[in-house]
Every structure is written in structure tokens, then in C-alpha cells.
């Protein structure tokens, strides 16, 4: 099969899969974070490399662009290379990267959170193994990986190292989170719900309480962002795209009986008006956010860290009081809220890179992991942050938000590892920032309180599975929408039968067989 044809297949698969994707132990500040580039003699042009990055639309206009701003300049001034950054829109990142690869214009370093995507690139020959180069040229990364052997399974594909990574801090291992209006609970004399049944009861009270006093039952108890569905699925131990080990056999979550229960729960919320009836058309969640920040909703399914939503709500409703909400139990017990694997960004090397450029890229990543990440995380010392007991404290919240908050995007390898008690120290000292910082400490501890069930560190990277899921996903989603919003037209049980029939029709039985074979072959490394 020609390379061009292969990439047409990859691109077609990614167009469908892109809708599925959305989401160190050394915490000491590195020394000499403002040192000049290492190993580069004055007046000798630096080797240029290009690096992909996610465009999340967070660079303020006055700061420039993702390609050119104060931090890209700082990197080029201080690192051993000159970096040309290649932003790709976050929602279509894999699609865009595949287009660049297919056209031969992909950046030298390509990174993603999704290990399956990196494995796909490895299997297609778009990226190259780097074991011998790390051994030959690296110092910092080589030692770091020896100190963190738990990361190696994420970057090892077909027995070779195809990417580099660093360990997530607790603030990026925690992901999903729930918030509740504590002042509403207090007014109604209620306690925070601890089970899905109690959540429904509290939501009914919120719905009927008429907090805005307009005489209309128009309060929306629960609003959410894109994490909501997975939060609701997690109550029933069934993330829709995960594989679960059931009696020694791997089963796809969307075919499990537990999944039926999660759909029934979501349908009940919709039928009783406990979630916004317009949520399906609110694809960017702006309506949900507006309901929350204007004080017209009582529970938010989102992220553990939602500072902007908190501050916007406080601006509109100064007396509002929030509390992080712990994961809820169901008849299956209590699962944790979604938590990420330890491996952070996976940085892969374009297969077209020659050894000279690979060497330069490795030295850049060595520099980033050793010291570059620190300044990109805290900003310029004594301008954006100052150290208090070794913890970086923001000097001015607005200045930091405008000038530094987007910079961590460039730290593709990092040793950032904050502790919950750091948050009040790190935050600006104004009352509002301090109020949120204390909540933030509570929230991350709440989000990490219960372990999240993950039977495999990552899903199987089989092309047959990728193709099946890409076809199956929109069909299953359509059926689920009918179940939840269609009243009595389709029960969860009948809908699940349709979903299972589609899974089998598209080759689900054969894929399950291949997945099981993959598991038996690789289970010793699936830790």
C-alpha cells in the first residue's frame, strides 16, 4: 500500500476520532532559571527545530500570538536551539496534525496526551524510535526516566521508545470535578449529596426553591461542561471509551450492563428537568456557564479547578458560597472522579528528522526538563511571582493571568509538582484570590479522595479497534440521545439492545477477540 494511501486512511480515521478526544517527583525550583543557552557558542547560529502545540485561544491580543510572544522569545534566548512553534486548534489537533504529516509539512516534534494517537503514528512510520539517541545525547532525560520507570510503558511502543514524557503533577492528574452552591444547601437545611439518589433529591429541592424570587420554577439544578457525561458514567464505573476487565475478559464499556444504568440515570435527570433541557444544542457550554455565573444553577459538573467560573459568579453574586462535591456512590459502590495517568505530554520525533536535528531536539528537551519549565510556569521572578518559603507566589493576579497563564503550554516537559497546601501561598493575596485558593486546595483533595477505576493504563492500540470505534461512536451517540431526550419512545434497556446490535454488526465480536489477544500478549507491561 502506498504511503499516500495509508495517510488518506489515517486522516479519515482521525476525522472521526477527533470528536472522541476532548482532555515529578522533583518539586524544587531549579537553579539559574535565566541562564543563557547551553552548549551554544556566542555568534554561532542555533539549530532550528519546530514543535507542535495546542491553540486554546488563550494568548491575549496584547501578548502577540502563539508563534511570537514574550515567552517564545525567552525560549529562543535561553534554550540551546531556536524553536518555531506550530499551533494546531485544540479541538481538531489530531486531524490537523495528520494533515500536516500527510503533506510532509509536520513539525519536528509532535506531541499529544493521547497515547493511542502516538502509537498510531509509530505504526504508520510517521515518527521514529529514539532509544539510541537518548542514550547517546541526553543527560537530564536519561536520568529522569531511570528515576521514573513507571513512565516507560506509556512511551514504549512495539518494544521501542517512540516519545518522551514527564510525570504529571497532582494538579493535572486530577481532572474532573463537581461544585455545589453551599449557600443554597444552607438555606434549605440540606447536606451535600453522597449518592446518586441523594443528588436527585437535592436537585429536586433546588429546582423548586425559586432562589431568584421571580415566582417561576426556572432554576436549573445541574449545569455542566464537556466533562459531564464522563462524570455521570463514572458513578456507574463505565467510562464509555474505556475497556474493563470483567472476569478476566476485556469488555468495552459501552456494551456493559452498568452502562444501561448510567443512561437511565441521565434520562431521569433530563425527564425531571434537573439538567438543562437545551443541553444538547449548547455544544460550547456557553449557556451552561452563563446559568452558573449568573447564579441560576446550583451544581456544576466540570473541572476540579474552575477559577474563572468562580470569580465570574462572585462578581455577579457576591454572597455565593461554593463547595467542592465528592464523587457519588451508586449501587456499584463509589468510583473516583476521572484522573489522568502519570505520564504527561508525549513528545514524539518526526521520522523525517536527521540525526543532527534529533540531537538538537534532545538537548532542547533536556534543557526544558532541567530548568526551562520553571520560568514558563511561574513567569519572571519578582515581576510575576516571588518565592515564599520556596513556593512561587503570584504578585498580581490580573498581570499573571494576562502575561503568564498561557506560557505553561510551551513547557512540553516539566517537573512541576505542587501540593494542595501551596495554593493559598501561590495565589495573589487579594481576598477573592485567597478565597478561591482555599477552595482550590479543598477541591483537589476532594477530586483525588476516591481512586478512579482504570483497569488498563491505556486502551489497546489496534487499527481494527480504531476503525470500529470511529464508525460506532456517532451511531451509539445518536441512539443515546434518543434514549435520554425521547421520553417513552425508547427505554434505556431497549436502546442498549440497539447499541449492542450495532457493535456486533460493525465487527465488535472480532475486535473483542483481537483486544483479548493483545491483552494476553501485553499484560505484563500494563502497569
Could you tell me the three cell numbers for 122?
Answer: 509509530
Question: How many helices, marked H, and strands, marked E, lie in the chain?
Answer: 22, 17
The answer to whether residues 242 and 253 touch, using CB atoms and an 8 Å cutoff, is yes
Degrees, nearest 5: CA angle 173-299-23: 30
pLDDT at 505: 97
How high is the pLDDT of residue 516?
97
Which of these, 236, 262, 285, lies nearest to 483 by C-alpha position? 262
Quick one: pLDDT at residue 458? 86
Write the DSSP assignment of 253-313 as a string of letters.
GGGSHHHHHHHHHHHHHHHTTSB-TTTTT-TT-HHHHHHHHTT-EEEEEEES--HHHHHHH
pLDDT grade, residue 44 (50/70/90)?
A: confident
Q: What are phi and psi of 475, to 5 degrees?
A: -65, -50
Strands 297-303 and 220-224: parallel
Mean pLDDT of all residues in the chain? 90
Q: Note the pLDDT of residue 43.
A: 66
CA atoms of 336 and 329, how far apart (whole Å): 9
Q: Calculate ∠ Cα 161-354-149, nearest 5°.
A: 15
Residue 317 is predicted with a pLDDT of 96
Greatest extent of the chain over all pairs of C-alpha atoms, in Å: 74
Give residue 252's region: left, alpha or beta (phi > 0; psi -120 to 50). beta
Task: From residue 488, give the alpha-carbon distance in Å to each of 232, 264, 477, 484, 495.
Answer: 21, 12, 18, 9, 11
- Summarize the confidence of residues 323-340 as an average pLDDT: 97
| pLDDT at residue 185, as a whole number | 98
Q: What percent of the chain shows pLDDT beyond 70? A: 92
Q: How many CB atoms lie within 10 A of CB 487?
A: 10
pLDDT in tens, 305-323: 999 899 999 999 999 999 9
pLDDT at residue number 361: 98
d(CA 354, CA 332): 53
pLDDT of residue 99: 96
Cα 161 from Cα 322, distance rounded (Å):
45
- Residue 366: pLDDT band (50, 70, 90) is very high
- pLDDT of 218 above 50: yes
SS3 189: coil
The pLDDT value given to residue 42: 57
What is the CB-side half-sphere exposure of residue 315 using CA atoms within 13 A? 9
Res. 41 pLDDT band, cuts 50 70 90: low
pLDDT for 58 equals: 87
Q: Assign 412 to helix, strand or coil.
A: coil
Cβ atoms of residues 370 and 37 within 8 Å = no
What is the mean pLDDT of the segment spanning 449-468? 91
Rounded-to-integer distance, Cα 361 and Cα 355, Å: 10
Question: Helix or strand or coil: residue 160?
Answer: strand
pLDDT in tens, 220-272: 999 999 899 999 999 999 998 899 999 999 999 999 999 999 999 999 999 99
Note whether 237 and 493 are within 8 A (CB): no
Q: What pLDDT sits at residue 7? A: 44
Q: Is 124 helix (H, G, I), strand (E, B) or coil?
A: coil
Of 48 and 32, more confident: 48
Contacts of residue 301, defined as CB under 8 A and 6 or more positions apart, other chains included, come to 176, 178, 222, 223, 224, 225, 227, 228, 231, 232
Amino acid at each position: 500500500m502506498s504511503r499516500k494511501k495509508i495517510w488518506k486512511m489515517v486522516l479519515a480515521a482521525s476525522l472521526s476520532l477527533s470528536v472522541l478526544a476532548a482532555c515529578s517527583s522533583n518539586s524544587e525550583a531549579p537553579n539559574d532559571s535565566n541562564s543563557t543557552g547551553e552548549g551554544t557558542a556566542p555568534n554561532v547560529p542555533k539549530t532550528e527545530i519546530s514543535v507542535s502545540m495546542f491553540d486554546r485561544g488563550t494568548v491575549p491580543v496584547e501578548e502577540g500570538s502563539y508563534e511570537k510572544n514574550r515567552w517564545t522569545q525567552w525560549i529562543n534566548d535561553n534554550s540551546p536551539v531556536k524553536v518555531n512553534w506550530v499551533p494546531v486548534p485544540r479541538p481538531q489537533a489530531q486531524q490537523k496534525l495528520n494533515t500536516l504529516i500527510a503533506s510532509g509539512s509536520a513539525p519536528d516534534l509532535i506531541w499529544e496526551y493521547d497515547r493511542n494517537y502516538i502509537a498510531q503514528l509509530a505504526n504508520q512510520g510517521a515518527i521514529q524510535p529514539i532509544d539510541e539517541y537518548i542514550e547517546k545525547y541526553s543527560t537530564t532525560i536519561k536520568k529522569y526516566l531511570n528515576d521514573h520507570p513507571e513512565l516507560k510503558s506509556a512511551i514504549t511502543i512495539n518494544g521501542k521508545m517512540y516519545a518522551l514524557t514527564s510525570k504529571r503533577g497532582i494538579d493535572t492528574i486530577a481532572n474532573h470535578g463537581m461544585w455545589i452552591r453551599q449557600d443554597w444547601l444552607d438555606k434549605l437545611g440540606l447536606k451535600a449529596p453522597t449518592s446518586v439518589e441523594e443528588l436527585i433529591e437535592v436537585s429536586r429541592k433546588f429546582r423548586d426553591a425559586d432562589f431568584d424570587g421571580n415566582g417561576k420554577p426556572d432554576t436549573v439544578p445541574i449545569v455542566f461542561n464537556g466533562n459531564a457525561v464522563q462524570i455521570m458514567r463514572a458513578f456507574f464505573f463505565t467510562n464509555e471509551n474505556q475497556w474493563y476487565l470483567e472476569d478476566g475478559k476485556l469488555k468495552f464499556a459501552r456494551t456493559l450492563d452498568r452502562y444501561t444504568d448510567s443512561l437511565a440515570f441521565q434520562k431521569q435527570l433530563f425527564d425531571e428537568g434537573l439538567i438543562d433541557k437545551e443541553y444538547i444544542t449548547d455544544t460550547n457550554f456557553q449557556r451552561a456557564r452563563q446559568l452558573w455565573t449568573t447564579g441560576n444553577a446550583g451544581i456544576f459538573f466540570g473541572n476540579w479547578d474552575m477559577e474563572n467560573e468562580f470569580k465570574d459568579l462572585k462578581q455577579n453574586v457576591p454572597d455565593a458560597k461554593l463547595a467542592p462535591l465528592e464523587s457519588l456512590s451508586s449501587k456499584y459502590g463509589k468510583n473516583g472522579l476521572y484522573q489522568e495517568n502519570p505520564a504527561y505530554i508525549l513528545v514524539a520525533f518526526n521520522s523525517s528528522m536527521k540525526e543532527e536535528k534529533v540531537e538538537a531536539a534532545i538537548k532542547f528537551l533536556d534543557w526544558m526538563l532541567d530548568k526551562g519549565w520553571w520560568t514558563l510556569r511561574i513567569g519572571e521572578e519578582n515581576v510575576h511571582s516571588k518565592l515564599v518559603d520556596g513556593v512561587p507566589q503570584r504578585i498580581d493576579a490580573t498581570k499573571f493571568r494576562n502575561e503568564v497563564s498561557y506560557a505553561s503550554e510551551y513547557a512540553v516537559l516539566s517537573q512541576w509538582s505542587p501540593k494542595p497546601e501551596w495554593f493559598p501561598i501561590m495565589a495573589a493575596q487579594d481576598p477573592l484570590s485567597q478565597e478561591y485558593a482555599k477552595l482550590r486546595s479543598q477541591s483537589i483533595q476532594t477530586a483525588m479522595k476516591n481512586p478512579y477505576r482504570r483497569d488498563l493504563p491505556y486502551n489497546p492500540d489496534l487499527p481494527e479497534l480504531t476503525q470500529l470505534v470511529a464508525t460506532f461512536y456517532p451511531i451509539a451517540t445518536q441512539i443515546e440521545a434518543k434514549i435520554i431526550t425521547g421520553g417513552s419512545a425508547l427505554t434505556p434497556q431497549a436502546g442498549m439492545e440497539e447499541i449492542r446490535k450495532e457493535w456486533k454488526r460493525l465487527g465488535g465480536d472480532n475486535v473483542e477477540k483481537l483486544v483479548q489477544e493483545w491483552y494476553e500478549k501485553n499484560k505484563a507491561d500494563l502497569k
